[in-house]
Amino acid sequence: MIAYLIRRILYAIPILIGVNLLTFALFFVVNTPDDMARMQLGIKRVTPDAIEKWKQQRGYDKPLLVNSAARGAGKITDTIFWQKSASMFVLDFGYSDDGRSIGREITQRMAPSLAIALPTFLIGLVVYVSFALLMTLFRATALDIAGVALCVLLMSVSGLFYIIGGQFVVSKLWHLVPISGYDGGMGGFKFVVLPIVIGVVGSVGSSSRWYRTIFLEEIGKDYVRTARAKGLSELRVLFSHVLKNAMIPILTGVVVVIPLLFMGSLLTESFFGIPGLGSYTIDAINAQDFSVVRAMVFLGSLLYIVGLILTDISYTVVDPRVRLQ
């Protein structure tokens, strides 16, 4: 089992390297730093001097991969790749266009992101699983059909609608909570409650339906028939047999997103003015701040890979076949 986990962790390294190379190619090879400078400074009235200055400020005035002018290790280290891309492995993300440390910005913004994302995730999980269990229990009845129809309807609505509609009704019409803003500590509750509710409601449709499919697949298996033949009630069958087995496919889909909670949600944070990583990313995209976007891409995949490893670990908890082999 330990060997299995170590192997999974080792497997993550080449993937991170791949992500790093991909982002490097995307940000520095598809368009040269000159192109970016020209774009940022305005296409029409740009002078070569201005471009050089822009590049120098950001450290983009170096060769991409090999610096033939430098000596020794500098041939490798004094390059854009080494300083801008490879450095991310040690979580050194450099500076944004307005000169602030991206790394510090990230650590500061993680907490607000989590304050929204974590409750959304946990409440959502409970709500979706309960709703799906309910539909499974009443499968093939009017209740189930209505539930599925509701799910399809809810998942056909744009996510933007939930946010805009929610803000309009709850904040503008009813004046229950402020329309946007954020505050740390207990005072922040009034700010986070609406984004959380909207986040949960927003994916009720697709998630509940997904869980329902998993439960239905499990409930068709032979061991469920055995459990019923033992004289267990349908509720016991569902909770003590089906749910345990359904944990394996559920964990596959769920655990992997836990680390990504740090990243927050782009839409929610931007609409509600939450100073988290999501709104940080959106602002960077709008300002075309490439170094921030690059940092977020790398951070995102790092967290995703952590999620994959966590998933593997979680299997050992719920699946004896993985644990004992």
* Shortest distance, position 222 Cβ to another protein, whole Å: 4
Q: Any bridge partners for residue 95, and if so which?
A: 101
| In the complex, minimum distance from the CB of residue 182 to another protein, in angstroms, rounded to a whole number | 19
Residue numbers 281-300 binding another protein by CB under 8 A: 281-282, 285-286, 288, 290, 293-294, 296-297, 300
Query: What is the phi-psi region of residue 319: left when phi exceeds 0, alpha when psi lies from -120 to 50, beta otherwise?
Result: beta
Looking up tokens 């309807």 gives: 153
- Provide the β-strand partners of residue 101: 95
- Cβ proximity to another protein, 111 vs 243, nearer residue: 243
Q: Does residue 168 interact with another protein by CB under 8 A?
A: yes
Which residue, 61 or 78, is less far from another protein as judged by CB?
A: 61
Pick from 268, 125, 143, 149: which is nearest to 207 by CA? 125
Binding flag, residue 241, another protein (CB under 8 A):
yes
Tell the smallest beta-carbon distance from residue 236 to another protein (Å). Answer: 9
When binding is defined by CB under 8 A, the residue of 66, 122, 143, 157 that contacts another protein is 157
Contact between 176 and another protein per CB under 8 A: no
Alpha-carbon radius of gyration of the chain: 25
Question: Shortest distance, CB of residue 107 to another protein, whole angstroms?
Answer: 19
Which residue in 18, 74, 181, 184 binds another protein (CB under 8 A)? 18
Q: Is 88 in the site for another protein (CB under 8 A)?
A: no
- Report phi then psi at 61, rounded to 5: -90, 15
As measured in angstroms, the least distance from the Cβ of 117 to another protein is 13
Contact 150, 247 (CB under 8 A): no
Applying the rule CB under 8 A, the residues between 195 and 224 that interact with another protein are 220-223
- Shortest Cβ 79–another protein spacing (Å): 20
What is the helix (H) or strand (E) element at residue 254, kind and residue range? Answer: helix 243-254
| Contacts by residues 199-202 (CB-CB < 8 Å, ≥ 24 positions apart) | 199/116, 199/117, 199/120, 199/124, 199/265, 199/268, 200/120, 200/123, 200/124, 200/127, 201/154, 201/162, 201/166, 202/159, 202/162, 202/163
Measured from the CB atom, the residue of 118 and 282 that comes closer to another protein is: 282
Among 118, 258, 266, 309, binds another protein (CB under 8 A): 266
